[in-house]
């Protein structure tokens, strides 16, 4: 029972971080093409896309 609650909490945290990243991407000064690519990456690979965006995305 506890593992279900923990995984649900981690999923909620991941969702919040993904929404934050997408908002930051949309508000950035990057080109529209790169914005679309970052958003698609985060939507298709939520955890890995978020990590890659954190390491390579924001300047």
Give the residue from 32, 38, 31, 33 showing the smallest Cα distance to 56: 38
Please, which contacts does 52-56 make with residues 24 or more away whose CB atoms are closer than 8 Å?
53/21, 53/25, 54/21
Structural domain of residue 34, as residue ranges?
2-56
The string of pLDDT tens digits covering residues 27-55 is 999 999 999 999 999 999 999 999 999 99
Higher model confidence: residue 3 or residue 28? 28
**Per-residue confidence (pLDDT) for residue 3, from 0 to 100:** 77
Q: How many domains does the chain have?
A: 1
pLDDT reading at 5 higher than 80: yes
1 — pLDDT class (breaks 50, 70, 90): low
**Average predicted confidence (pLDDT) for the chain:** 92
């Amino acid at each position: 029972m506890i593992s279900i609650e923990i995984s649900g909490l981690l999923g909620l945290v991941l969702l919040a971080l993904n929404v934050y990243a997408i908002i930051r991407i949309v508000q950035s000064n990057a080109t529209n093409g790169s914005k679309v690519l970052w958003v698609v990456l985060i939507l298709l690979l939520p955890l890995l896309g978020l990590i890659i965006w954190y390491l390579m995305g924001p300047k």
